[in-house]
């Protein structure tokens, strides 16, 4: 029964961690777009994005990432001595997700110091990286075999292409709307 409680807590903190990652990078996008505004709107929006992002990192994103790791490690004991192949792939993806988390935090720190290195379009693409990790990990955990993993990779590549097309289409739509206003 303890295993099920640990698993439930692990899933809950995975969900809150992803929520924090998705919304933080969305705040980075809004922050980059605020820089295109005129004063005083530019300063007001920029400062608000900084406050919201800092709170989100401190209250949700970091604690959720740490608790996800703790509860995930607590579930590994059932596989001691016989780690299945799908779990090895999941751990590799999780390592990539933690790298994404740390890189996103570095972007946050740069924005807090008024260092703007990315456009809103670049940040939109960065935002979709978390989506790719989410899809990869969930499909891997649910499907758990090599053939389905191959189809999952093919689907992931297709999803990546669709996301890039959607980002480009949205950018064109925004440009058209700004030209009409």
Residue 104: count other Cβ atoms within 10 Å of its Cβ.
22
What does the pLDDT read at residue 132? 86
Q: Are 132 and 156 in contact (CB under 8 A)?
A: yes
Helical H runs in 35-84?
A: 41-56, 62-75
Regions of the chain short of the pLDDT cut 50 = none
Residue 168, annotated as binding a ligand: no
Residue 77, annotated as binding a ligand: no
* Domain range annotation of the chain: 2-180
Closest CA to 25 of 172, 162, 132: 132
What does the pLDDT read at residue 98? 98
What count of Cα atoms within 13 Å lies in the side-chain half-sphere of residue 14? 18
Quote the pTM value: 0.84
DSSP 103-136: HHHHHHHHHHTT-----HHHHHHHHHHHHHHHHH
Q: Are 17 and 68 in contact (CB under 8 A)?
A: yes
Alpha-carbon distances of 110 from 31, 94, 116, 148, rounded to whole Å: 12, 24, 7, 40
What does the pLDDT read at residue 147? 62
């Amino acid at each position: 029964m303890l295993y099920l409680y640990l698993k439930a807590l692990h899933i809950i903190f995975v969900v809150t961690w992803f929520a924090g990652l998705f919304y933080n990078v969305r705040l980075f996008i809004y922050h980059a777009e605020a820089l295109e505004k005129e004063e005083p709107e530019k300063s007001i929006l920029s400062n608000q994005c900084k406050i919201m992002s800092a709170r989100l990192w401190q209250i949700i994103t970091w604690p959720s990432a740490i608790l996800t790791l703790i509860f995930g490690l607590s579930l590994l004991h059932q596989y001691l001595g016989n780690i299945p192949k799908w779990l090895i792939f999941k751990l590799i993806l999780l390592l990539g997700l933690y790298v994404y988390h740390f890189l996103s935090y570095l972007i946050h720190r740069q924005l807090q110091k008024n260092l703007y290195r990315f456009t809103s379009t670049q940040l939109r693409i960065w935002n979709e990286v978390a989506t790719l990790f989410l899809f990869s990990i969930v499909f891997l955990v649910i499907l758990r075999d090599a053939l389905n993993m191959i189809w999952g990779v093919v689907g992931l590549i297709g999803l990546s292409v669709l996301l890039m097309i959607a980002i480009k289409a949205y950018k064109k739509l925004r440009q058209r709307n700004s030209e009409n206003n």
